[in-house]
Amino acid sequence: MSFIGNEEQIRFLQDRFKFIYGILFIGVGVLLSRLFFLQMINGDQMRQYSEENRIKRVKIPAPRGMIFDREGRLLIDNRPAFYVNITPQYLKESGKPKEVIGQLSKVIKIPVDDIEKKLNKVKGQASFMPVLIKDNLTRDEVAALETWKINMPGVQVEMGISRMNTERDVGSNLYGYIGKISQNEIPGLNASIGQNSSRKYQLDDSVGKSGLEKQFEEHLRGIDGSELVEVDALGRSIQITKNKGRVLAQNEEEPSVPGKNLILSIDQDLQMAALRGFGEKQGGLIAIDPRNGEVLAMVSRPSFDPADLSRGVDADIWAKLISDENHPLRDKTIQDHFSPGSTFKTITAIAALEEGVITKDTTFNCGGSIMLGNRKVHCWKKEGHGTVNVVSALTHSCDVFFYRVAQKLKSVDDIAKYAMHLGMGRRTGIEVGREVPGLIPTEAWKKQRFNTEWSPGETLYVAIGQSFVLTTTIQLANAYASLVNGGTLYKPMIVKSVQNEDSKTIKESIPQVLDRTNLKKETIDLVTEGLWGVVNAPGGTANWMHKPGLEFAGKTGTVQVFTQKAEKIYQKCENLRFKQRHHGVFVGYAPIKNPSIVVAVYAEHACSGSHGAAPIAKEVIETYLRKYYPDVYNDKALAEARKKPGIIQFKASGGD
Amino acid sequence: MSYSSMETNLDQQFDPNRMSTYEEEFKWLKWVPLILEIIILTWGMINLSSATAVEDKSAGLWKNQMITICIGTIGTLFLMIPHYSFLSRLAYMIYLGNLGLLLAVLAVGKSSLGAKRWIGFGGFSLQPSELMKISTVIFLAKYFENKSTTSGLKFKDLLMPTIFVMIPLVLILVQPDLGTAMIIMLVYGSILLFLKISPKVLVGLTIIAALALPVVYNYGLKPYQRQRITTFIDPMSDPKGAGYNSIQSMIAVGSGQMFGKGWKKGTQAHLNFLPEHHTDFIFSVFSEEWGFVWCSILLLLYLLFIMSGLSVAYRSNDKFATLLAFGITSIFFWHVFVNMGMVMGMLPIVGVPLPFLSYGGSALLTAMSGVAILVNIANKKYMF
């Protein structure tokens, strides 16, 4: 070899190559060892990490059981609802959160500020937890979001199941609503379902929060399934971006099991009749079949739409529902108790007749008031009713008659005994939940509660359903049902049966007797005659509603909201502020012979039982009679009845 | 010993009666760097077509790389025709020219991902810092051509070359392009070690480096650069943030296991878990899809390639050519070492591409030019 330049130096450099090769082999050796370590020694672990990166187990929500009325009409349905989430972590990793939010804002038409506010609200929680941005997306919004998806990392459109009341807010207090489970509900719920791990509740599950949804949670809830889905680094599932499901392993898929359906004793026609009856009025209505305790209608007004609550509550809607002074979330048929007022006179009459302190011939004179010690106690009718017996006293709702009765009774406990046997002052046990017991005062109760003796004067007020007496609408309905069926108190039954998805009955309810009172036939006859007169006799408190041929009986009640001075009592109720107006109560039943429906109505601030509550009951009763007795109660028959001169004999001499 | 061109070579090969000598028998060795380049580049393009089949910014960049290869091939031919001594003659011009380009980057450069590294030429953009690697090597080869180093370099010998290396280095650091600056430092150090540094100076430099390290760490680095070092030491300190890239890259490499997940089936890359999967982290994609067996073969190819470059340096009988070939080879070595080390979590994350595999025009052109110069030296050494 010939060298150019300094040969010695070239030779010197050639000697340096041993050293250079040494470094080279060490370097490559290090790389190879590392490669071996990562791929061969840690390979399994790393493969598992990479699988965990891309495979996410996604829940397949199980459809919740549906709720049907007694004729199989759908009341509560599942409805797919699309909603859009932002996962803050993915949004941050996208490197362009501002653009993404701006784009999203344009698509779903929510101002950027509002979206950012929602994100800021959850700053504290883990950033991989999705934040709900908009619920109940329209089809167009879903389509637009899918189109822009690729430009909006961190934004996910998801489908959930929303609960839908087919009639929006009719009966919603009874059916209840579902909502996202809260952290402190989980342990209790999981304890109640025992060891079955596939049914265990998790944080993003929905659970029945009130009404039947809560009471029958165990039946209504299905078992969620799951599938494996491949996702990319920004959490976008390949299923959506590539428009085809990429379920990884068939055997990894767990199908979902739908929840069980409930068949209610409710008749949707009567529910709608109640809605018509209420119109703008507020309160509760319950209709019970006195022959077996089946609840035919159960409506509370105002109400809510469960669809608003079932998919993560919008803070504004929730605040509005909670702060509404008309309590749309409360079931007023079972969760509100109130003084039953004159509707309680029926109970007093039963007690007096059964205890023998009065007979059908006992009469008292009503002069508009009586003296109680040195205090004047008024009848609701200033000028008085004249001479009244038990029948006309009920018909005209004469207070003085019942004051006299109260004075003749040994003790308030005599009234309490019959009230309790008729189901008052205790929960009826209807399977809806959060029922209030009401209150029937006794001497012992007062002693225990206030540590004072019962004063006989108080019995007067109890006799007309005032003072401490508190009942719920359902108790009134059930007590009257017990009266008209001869003394049998049934537990109100709301769910007739539980069926699985192919309509096979799993569980069937049977009528349950809570109590039996052996009422004398004469007692029942006299009281029901009085109740008949209320609607059908001249001067009956609800006689203005009398419609020949369409007979029903009942009792009105008007309850003062505040204890007011005598002059104020007679003031025109409509002139008072809404919240100060009297409540109207009415309990009615039909047909007159062999009644098959009892309707109790509690009309809040409707001023009177006669004009406020009774027309609502009448709407339901008329609908019921026309539907279930078409041979007797049809247009032709009613027209005939109208032609006959109304011969209404009133046995006792009454006031007007 | 006068055959020098490919033509005579081929003629002789077709003469069946000719007795072959050792030199003639291994004549093909002169082409080994180019042959290995073609093999690795082909494999690299197959890998890149997978890495750029991802729905993100890398989509379709495969075609750009193809265009670069065409330009690089033409460049290779042009660089092989003249005798490499023109590089010696033009060494300082090349150095100054490249320095000018670096200054132009500062003045009119294009920014991307927070760094200003490119200058646009019509539709193309050039990264002068990449070319500076070769320019620096040419400069150093020229500088040391006529200096005897047999007794080891002293401090005073190091002063001038260090200044000339520091000038472009500073310009590159302000872009910032820590990776390229690091490669130039490593190449400079390699050349110095190759030339032999006197033991005293070596000890002195080691002490200075040890003292300077904390100062540079605290004041010389940008916060994100410091964070890369922190997360390198403990990637789990911020697995969703700064440590994310390193962790995902290691997962990608490791999950390839023995035989890989298959071409275009790497989930880490294709589902976007890997950052910069077509450039700096291309080896993660490769190792995830090809597995340990093929990774070892690729590493072996790189080893052979570097050895062939060293062999060119060794066989050259011209000190400038020896230094030039050695310098160029050391560029390749450090790129491979730093890139793979980073991808496999052994080194902090710095932007250093893997030769022939990473996407990137300037890097590929620089690499191809390097190979062209190596082959030129191998083939022209007997031409005088």
Report the chain A residue with the minimal C-alpha distance to residue B314.
Answer: A14
Q: Per the CB < 8 Å rule, is B310 touching A20?
A: yes
Chain B residue numbers with beta carbons less than 8 Å from the beta carbon of A150 are: 55
| Residue with the larger pLDDT of the pair B298 and A245 | B298
Cis peptide before B176 (omega within 30 of 0): yes
pLDDT of residue A547: 82
What would the pLDDT profile of B334-383 be if each residue is shown by its tens digit?
A: 999 999 999 998 888 888 999 999 999 899 999 999 999 999 998 875 54
pLDDT of residue A55: 81
Q: Per the CB < 8 Å rule, is B257 touching A231?
A: no
| Residue with the larger pLDDT of the pair B137 and A89 | B137
B309 reaches A (C-beta below 8 A): no
pLDDT of residue A565: 54
Q: Per the CB < 8 Å rule, is A31 touching B272?
A: no
B306 reaches A (C-beta below 8 A): yes
Q: Per the CB < 8 Å rule, is B326 touching A46?
A: no
Confidence band, pLDDT 50/70/90 cuts, at residue A481: very high
The whole-number average pLDDT for the span B238-261 is 84
Q: B298 vs chain A: nearest CA distance in angstroms?
A: 11
- Decide if A618 contacts A609 (C-beta within 8 A): no
Segment 247-266 of chain B within 8 Å of chain A by CB: 248, 250-258
Q: Per the CB < 8 Å rule, is B254 touching A1?
A: no
pLDDT of residue A276: 95
The whole-number average pLDDT for the span B74-99 is 93
Q: Per the CB < 8 Å rule, is B292 touching A5?
A: no
The whole-number average pLDDT for the span A587-591 is 94
What would the pLDDT profile of B137-158 be if each residue is shown by its tens digit?
A: 999 999 998 888 888 888 888 9
Report the chain A residue with the minimal C-alpha distance to residue B300.
Answer: A28
CA atoms within 13 A on the CB side of A525: 6
Confidence band, pLDDT 50/70/90 cuts, at residue B73: very high
**Dihedral angle, C-alpha A288, A348, A592, A558, nearest 10 °:** -70
Is it the case that residue A295 has pLDDT exceeding 90?
A: yes
Highest mean pLDDT among A85-99, B137-151, B228-242: B137-151
Is it the case that residue B17 has pLDDT exceeding 70?
A: no
CA atoms within 13 A on the CB side of A530: 29
Place of tokens 């008072």: A576
Q: Which residues contact A364 (CB under 8 A, 6 or more apart)?
A: A387, A388, A393, A400, A401, A404
Three-state SS at A557: strand
Is it the case that residue B37 has pLDDT exceeding 90?
A: yes
Q: Per the CB < 8 Å rule, is B258 touching A40?
A: yes
The whole-number average pLDDT for the span B40-53 is 93
pTM, two decimals, is: 0.69
The whole-number average pLDDT for the span A163-184 is 88
Q: Per the CB < 8 Å rule, is A4 touching B384?
A: yes
The whole-number average pLDDT for the span A269-297 is 95
Instruction: Please name the helix (run of DSSP H) or strand (run of DSSP E) that holds residue B46, with its range, or none.
Output: helix B32-51
Chain B residue numbers with beta carbons less than 8 Å from the beta carbon of A4 are: 317-319, 384
Q: B345 vs chain A: nearest CA distance in angstroms?
A: 9
Is it the case that residue B16 has pLDDT exceeding 60?
A: no
Confidence band, pLDDT 50/70/90 cuts, at residue B4: very low
Q: B339 vs chain A: nearest CA distance in angstroms?
A: 10
Chain A residue numbers with beta carbons less than 8 Å from the beta carbon of B322 are: 10, 13
In 3D space, the residue among A494, A493, A492, A464 whose CA is nearest the CA of residue A480 turns out to be A492
Residues in chain B: 384
DSSP 8-state code for residue B153 = B
pLDDT of residue B6: 44
- Biggest distance spanned by C-alpha atoms of chain B: 70
Is it the case that residue A255 has pLDDT exceeding 50?
A: yes
Chain A residue numbers with beta carbons less than 8 Å from the beta carbon of B384 are: 4
Q: Per the CB < 8 Å rule, is B257 touching A40?
A: yes
The whole-number average pLDDT for the span B64-74 is 94
Q: Which residues contact A314 (CB under 8 A, 6 or more apart)?
A: A135, A308
Q: Per the CB < 8 Å rule, is B196 touching A53?
A: no
Confidence band, pLDDT 50/70/90 cuts, at residue A652: very low
Q: Per the CB < 8 Å rule, is B287 touching A50?
A: no
Q: Per the CB < 8 Å rule, is A47 touching B326?
A: no
Chain B residue numbers with beta carbons less than 8 Å from the beta carbon of A20 are: 194, 310, 326
Is it the case that residue A126 has pLDDT exceeding 70?
A: no
Segment 57-116 of chain B within 8 Å of chain A by CB: none
pLDDT of residue A571: 65
Chain B residue numbers with beta carbons less than 8 Å from the beta carbon of A96 are: none
Q: 3-state secondary structure string, B286-342? A: HHHHHHHHHHHHHHHHHHHHHHHHHHHHHHCCEHHHHHHHHHHHHHHHHHHHHHHHH
pLDDT of residue A414: 93
Chain B residue numbers with beta carbons less than 8 Å from the beta carbon of A149 are: none
Among A199-208, A324-333, A486-495, the range scoring the smallest mean pLDDT is A199-208
- What is the ipTM, given to two decimal places? 0.90
Chain A residue numbers with beta carbons less than 8 Å from the beta carbon of B113 are: none
| Residue with the larger pLDDT of the pair A79 and A534 | A534
Is it the case that residue B13 has pLDDT exceeding 60?
A: no
Chain A residue numbers with beta carbons less than 8 Å from the beta carbon of B299 are: 28, 31-32, 35
Is it the case that residue A388 has pLDDT exceeding 80?
A: yes
Q: Per the CB < 8 Å rule, is B341 touching A2?
A: no
Pairing of strands A261-264, A67-68: parallel
What would the pLDDT profile of A545-583 be if each residue is shown by its tens digit?
A: 888 888 899 999 988 876 555 555 556 777 888 888 889
Q: Per the CB < 8 Å rule, is B344 touching A34?
A: yes
Is it the case that residue A252 has pLDDT exceeding 80?
A: no
How many A×B Cβ pairs under 8 Å?
149
Optimal mutation site among B272, B290, B320, interface A, most CBs of chain A within 10 A: B272
pLDDT of residue B258: 92
Optimal mutation site among B196, B317, B333, B343, interface A, most CBs of chain A within 10 A: B317
Report the chain B residue with the minimal C-alpha distance to residue A230.
Answer: B271
**Given 3-state DSSP classes, what are the helix, strand and coil percentages for chain A, each rounded to the nearest 5?**
40, 20, 40
Confidence band, pLDDT 50/70/90 cuts, at residue B209: confident
pLDDT of residue A564: 55
pLDDT of residue B190: 94
pLDDT of residue B56: 73
Task: List, as one string, the DSSP characters of A214-244.
Answer: HHTHHHH--B-EEEEEEB-TT--BHHHHTTS
Optimal mutation site among A6, A17, A20, interface B, most CBs of chain B within 10 A: A20
B199 residue type, one letter: P
Q: Which residues contact B136 (CB under 8 A, 6 or more apart)?
A: B95, B165, B168, B184, B187, B188, B327
Report the chain A residue with the minimal C-alpha distance to residue B295.
Answer: A35
Chain B residue numbers with beta carbons less than 8 Å from the beta carbon of A6 are: 148, 319
Residues in chain A: 656
Closest Cβ opposite residue B251 in set A9, A40, A53 = A53
Q: Per the CB < 8 Å rule, is A150 touching B251?
A: no
| Percent of chain A clearing pLDDT 70 (strictly above) | 91
Chain B residue numbers with beta carbons less than 8 Å from the beta carbon of A28 are: 299, 302-303
Q: Per the CB < 8 Å rule, is B322 touching A10?
A: yes
Chain A residue numbers with beta carbons less than 8 Å from the beta carbon of B341 are: 30-31, 34
Q: Per the CB < 8 Å rule, is A32 touching B148?
A: no
Chain B residue numbers with beta carbons less than 8 Å from the beta carbon of A34 are: 340-341, 344, 346
Task: List, as one string, the DSSP characters of A139-169.
Answer: HHHHHHHHHHGGG-TTEEEEEEEEEEETTTT
Cα A351 from Cα A345, distance rounded (Å): 10
Segment 120-139 of chain B within 8 Å of chain A by CB: none
Confidence band, pLDDT 50/70/90 cuts, at residue A236: low
Q: Per the CB < 8 Å rule, is A31 touching B344?
A: yes
Q: Per the CB < 8 Å rule, is A9 touching B254?
A: no
Over chain A, what is the mean pLDDT? Answer: 86
What would the pLDDT profile of A355-375 be if each residue is shown by its tens digit?
A: 999 999 999 999 888 888 888
Q: What is the number of H-type helices and E-type strands within chain A?
A: 24, 24
Q: Per the CB < 8 Å rule, is B273 touching A53?
A: yes
Q: Per the CB < 8 Å rule, is B344 touching A35?
A: yes
Among A77-91, A120-134, A295-309, A507-521, the range scoring the smallest mean pLDDT is A120-134
What would the pLDDT profile of A396-432 be if each residue is shown by its tens digit?
A: 999 999 999 999 998 999 999 999 999 999 999 999 8
B283 reaches A (C-beta below 8 A): no
Chain B residue numbers with beta carbons less than 8 Å from the beta carbon of A33 are: none
| Residue with the larger pLDDT of the pair B330 and B318 | B330
| Residue with the larger pLDDT of the pair A295 and A250 | A295
- Decide if A473 contacts A299 (C-beta within 8 A): no
Cα A581 from Cα A561, distance rounded (Å): 7
Is it the case that residue A653 has pLDDT exceeding 60?
A: no
What would the pLDDT profile of A35-74 be if each residue is shown by its tens digit?
A: 999 999 999 999 988 888 888 777 777 889 999 999 999 9
Is it the case that residue A616 has pLDDT exceeding 90?
A: yes
